Amino acid sequence: MLLKISNFFFISLIIMSCATTKGVYTVQKIDTPIQLSGNGADEAWNNAVILSDFSYPWRAETAPLTEFKALYDDTHFYFLYRAIDPDIITKKGDLVEMAAVNSDRIELFFKGNDDTQPYYSLELDALGRTLDTKATFGQKVDFDWNWPANQLMVKASMDEFGYWVEGSISFASLRKLGLYQDDNILRTGLYRAEYVKGPNGKASPKWISWIKPDSKTPNFHIPSSFGTLMLNDE
């Protein structure tokens, strides 16, 4: 079992090491589009840097393993999450986006270089259900907002060890939303909601993050929770 898990987590370490600067992740460029499978089957992912520096910002215990990878080409940004979770909790219901709430999920937030402008959130569960929202820091979240049509694609899958979430986002949409200015920088928050059942059987989330936000209580909706994705064009 351990050997099977290691196929994703450790083999790529022979080729690429994790980003070495805290809060900065290097995104490698590729020549051909990623073929999304929902489990990172495209061989191009072997060239991506592995980011596994995730923790519970507001808990002393060790968080379950989470890994993130990203790549890009001339037209799209690609991401891949691997979440180890032997007890995946998904809210019952159909594939409507709000069903991702109260489910085990990963999250990506994007913001521009001006914190007074809107930031955008993608919350993606193990079934590939996507909740996309828009907000301004300190303001209410607009749950009715949708990412530009046909500019975001997501696939997900589950196995005996946990789940995968894989996706692509067009640079056209990132530019339209003011999130990318051709400066090779994406200001991004990377998070995970790990739902755990209590003694009463009710599930509640433990919050996992790449960056420890400047907040004494759980809150990712602040600028200090964001890191930097550097697009390597060499």
Note if the pTM is more than 0.75: yes
Q: By residue range, what is the domain housing residue 34?
A: 24-231
Q: Which residues contact 22 (CB under 8 A, 6 or more apart)?
A: 53
Number of domains forming the structure of the chain = 1
- Arithmetic mean of pLDDT over the chain: 89
Q: What pLDDT does residue 2 have?
A: 39
> 98 pLDDT exceeds 80?
no
> 35 pLDDT exceeds 60?
yes
Residue 17 lies in a domain: no
What region, left, alpha or beta, does residue 102 occupy, with left being phi > 0 and alpha being psi -120 to 50 degrees? left
Residue 8 lies in a domain: no
Residue 3 lies in a domain: no
Q: Of the ranges 50-54, 57-61, 154-158, 202-206, which one carries the lowest mean pLDDT score?
A: 202-206
Task: Report whether 211 contacts 227 (CB < 8 A).
Answer: yes
Residue 141 lies in a domain: yes
Share of the chain above pLDDT 90, in %: 78
Size of the chain, expressed as the number of residues it contains: 234
CATH number at residue 108: 2.60.40.1190
Taking alpha carbons only, the member of 103, 88, 105, 101 closest to residue 167 is 105
The amino acid occupying position 231 is L
> 21 pLDDT exceeds 90?
no
Q: Which residues pair with 17 in a beta bridge?
A: none
In three state form, how does the secondary structure of 55-103 look? Answer: ECCCCCCCCCCEEEEEEECCCEEEEEEEEECCCCCCCCCCCCHHHHCCC
Name the band, by pLDDT with cuts 50, 70 and 90, for residue 143. very high
First to last CA, the chain: 38
**Mean pLDDT of the 73-77 span:** 97
**Mean pLDDT of the 181-202 span:** 92
Residue 72 lies in a domain: yes
Task: Report whether 192 contacts 95 (CB < 8 A).
Answer: no
Residue 79 lies in a domain: yes
Residue 206 lies in a domain: yes
Residue 93 lies in a domain: yes
> 175 pLDDT exceeds 50?
yes
Neighbours of 21 (CB within 10 A): 10
**Mean pLDDT of the 104-129 span:** 95
